[in-house]
């Protein structure tokens, strides 16, 4: 059975479950014990469909990764007359790329002139252009805020102008003196905070030509940088790292404080949605931890129907009150006094990338134990330039039993 057929079956099963509830309620709007048991089985079937869909999607994704070609196909037509095409030069050339890998595998004892052109100030080697672009692609796939936010490449400190207030119109009688309103402005500065990741590789593994050294290093560095970035984009305090969305000052505004330290109600989610100004709601999304999703998926309306709306199409997020729900492991879980849900237009979170990322080899540091070190570095900053664009649901401070 295909994923599409499973989704259709899940949709039919869910509609049947809702119809069953509507037809089986007594005069008080309640279900009998037998009907409640039947509905629970129908609901379990919907959940089983969801689990099977997710499993098949993961299998398809794995098939796609394993089916990728291991070499570059020939795209030129024979006798096409392209003999005069100029070869790429500098860091984009095939020679540079090949010599870069040769130098890595020989512990930098075999370095050609084309590699020496890219010597970094600390003795490392700049990443070739094709390496850097693939690293950025991995970050985009791993880090949800790089998909939702606005990314800016900077060469220095970036100043973003903000209209703090605008003039307001006022009614006046004929002959009455005019009143003048002031328009005020402020600025947000994007700086550059240094982030690095380093790995150690044994010499034996480095010299093994069959090992996919290029893909291994890029993948591991990309994941590590993405995880550190996303954690800072949510929870950073701005001291030596970006200022996160959940920061007490400069982060999103508190839209709702839950009445409990351990539970969230449907009414509180509704209040959170409407605490956000209407213009921002057009592109708004929820972001929360998976544990919080598990709590919200159990919420029901007054008729006993679940508020959660499972996605019917591959690649689309589930919805809550019509808005997409995204998850991140770096959003705090439900606990007393913690901000646990962000709702808003996350394009107002600006990410500043300063220059290009660098890649260096550390051959002396671990020479005594037969290992080689590699390090990737970047400079990045992030800030929510309009705090009113994102509203936060925060849990009540203290325990649920206390006041």
Dist CA 288 CA 308 (whole Å): 14
Pairing of strands 339-344, 285-288: antiparallel
* pTM to 2 decimal places: 0.59
Predicted pLDDT at 113: 45
Paired strand residues for 243: 237
Q: How far is CA 178 from the centre of its chain?
A: 50
Dist CA 136 CA 357 (whole Å): 9
With a cut of 70, say whether residue 76 has pLDDT above it.
no
| Cβ 356 vs Cβ 367: under 8 Å | no
With a cut of 50, say whether residue 50 has pLDDT above it.
yes
Nearest to 339 by CA among 393, 274, 267, 268: 393
Confidence of residue 118 (pLDDT cuts 50, 70, 90): very low
Q: Where are the domains of the chain?
A: 1-59, 89-118, 125-167+180-403
Is the Cα dihedral 92, 94, 99, 104 positive or negative? positive
For the stretch 202-224, pLDDT in tens is 777 766 645 566 667 777 787 88
Give the three-class secondary structure for 297.
Answer: coil
Of 126-140, 226-240, 331-345, where does mean pLDDT reach its minimum? 126-140
Class of domain 125-167+180-403: alpha beta
Of 120-124, 143-147, 174-178, 180-184, where does mean pLDDT reach its minimum? 120-124
Dist CA 99 CA 109 (whole Å): 12
Confidence of residue 398 (pLDDT cuts 50, 70, 90): confident
Token pair recorded at residue 393: 């649901």
Q: Mean per-residue pLDDT for 338-342?
A: 96
**Considering the chain, what percentage of its residues have pLDDT values greater than 70?**
68
In angstroms, the Cα distances linking 387 to 81, 153, 250, 345 are 58, 22, 7, 10
| Cβ 303 vs Cβ 29: under 8 Å | yes
């Amino acid at each position: 059975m295909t994923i599409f057929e499973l989704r259709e079956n899940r949709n039919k099963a869910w509609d049947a479950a809702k119809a069953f509830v509507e037809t089986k309620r007594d005069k008080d709007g309640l279900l009998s014990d037998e009907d409640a048991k039947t509905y629970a089985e129908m609901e379990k079937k919907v959940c089983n469909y969801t689990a099977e869909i997710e499993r098949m999607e993961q299998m398809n994704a794995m098939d796609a990764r394993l089916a990728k070609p291991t070499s570059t196909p020939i795209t030129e037509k024979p006798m096409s007359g392209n003999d005069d095409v100029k070869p790429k030069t500098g860091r984009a050339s095939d020679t540079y790329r090949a010599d870069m890998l040769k130098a890595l595998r020989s512990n930098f004892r075999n370095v050609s002139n084309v590699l020496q052109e890219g010597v970094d100030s600390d003795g490392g080697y700049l990443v070739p252009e094709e390496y850097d672009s693939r690293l950025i692609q991995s970050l985009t796939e791993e880090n949800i805020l790089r998909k939702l936010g606005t990314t800016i490449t900077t060469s220095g400190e970036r100043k973003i102008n903000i209209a703090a207030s605008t003039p307001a119109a006022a009614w006046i009688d004929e002959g009455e003196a005019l009143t003048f309103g002031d328009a005020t402005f402020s600025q947000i500065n994007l700086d550059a905070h240094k982030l690095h990741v380093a790995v150690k590789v044994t010499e034996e593994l480095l010299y093994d030509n069959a090992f996919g050294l290029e893909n291994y290093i890029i993948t591991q560095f990309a994941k590590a940088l993405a995880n550190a970035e996303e954690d800072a984009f949510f929870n950073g305090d701005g001291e030596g790292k970006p200022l996160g969305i959940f920061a007490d000052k400069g982060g999103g505004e508190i839209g709702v404080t839950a009445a409990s330290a351990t539970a969230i109600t449907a009414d509180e989610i509704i209040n959170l949605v409407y605490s956000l100004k209407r213009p921002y709601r057009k592109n708004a999304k929820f972001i929360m931890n998976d544990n919080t999703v598990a709590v919200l998926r159990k919420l029901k309306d007054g008729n006993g129907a679940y508020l959660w709306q499972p996605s019917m199409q591959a690649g689309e997020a589930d919805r809550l009150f019509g808005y997409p729900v995204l998850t991140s492991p770096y959003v705090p879980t439900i606990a007393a006094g913690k901000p646990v849900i962000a709702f808003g237009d996350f394009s107002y979170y600006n990410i500043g990338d300063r220059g290009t990322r660098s890649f260096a080899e550390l051959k002396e540091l671990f020479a005594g134990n037969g290992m080689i070190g590699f390090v990737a570095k970047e400079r990045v900053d992030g800030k929510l330039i309009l705090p009113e664009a994102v509203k936060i649901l925060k849990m009540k401070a203290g325990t649920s039993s206390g006041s």
